[in-house]
Amino acid sequence: MNGRGRGGYFLLLGVVAVFGALSVTTAVRHGLGDIASKKARHQIIDWQTTPARVPNLGELATAQAGLLRGLSWVPGDPLLLEMLGYGYSLRAAIAWRGTVFEDTMQEAALEQYRRSLARRPMSPYTWSSTAWTLHRLNREPQAMWQAMDRAIRYGIREGGVQLTLARILLARWDEAGPERQESLRHIYRESRGRAARQLKQLASEAGRDDLLPPR
């Protein structure tokens, strides 16, 4: 091997070594982020899947601190950002309605959802959460409907997405337009299991039993 060939060979080895070191560093950081946020992630999932399980502010603060520790190792992780936003949304839900505190927490949730979507733009749950937050803030109607349309496109079969969309559409039926109204009818026709039972309750509470499929 001549001098030029040896130089190219060692250059290639250097490039491989650099990329190998970066891959190892990235894997280590993700591993540490998982460890730091493990308990917090489990808590958030528990609260998401068990609506009756309402955390107190102390529990929320502890969980969000765990998520922030995870984000210190993997800045910009879309799942952790989404969960952090959900924590702020829970804070808003247990705040006094109509207070500045509620709006402040909704604003914080919206910021995290948008940061998450910048990295994972096809996440239906994050889009539906964004639509819900804008609905609660009662602002940026165009952005709210766009978020809803993305949630419908990417996750109309997901039970949690279905419930969030139903809450918004039942509240804003006259504004929704025929296509979104048909999407909700489709949700009611196709929903199954626990989601179907919860959707039925939402329709009855809104006086919209006409949306329920015939028995």
CATH 3.20.20.10 fits 39-211, yes or no: no
- Average pLDDT, whole number, for the chain? 86
Residue 144 CA from chain centroid, whole number: 14
The CA distance from 159 to 125, in Å, is 10
What residue segments make up the domains of the chain, in order of their start? 39-211
Q: Which residues contact 106 (CB under 8 A, 6 or more apart)?
A: 88, 89, 92, 133, 136, 137
Which tokens hold the place of 214? 């015939």
pTM metric for this prediction = 0.83
Q: Are 213 and 180 in contact (CB under 8 A)?
A: no
- Output the pLDDT for position 98: 60
Q: What percent of the chain has pLDDT over 90?
A: 67
- Output the pLDDT for position 22: 45
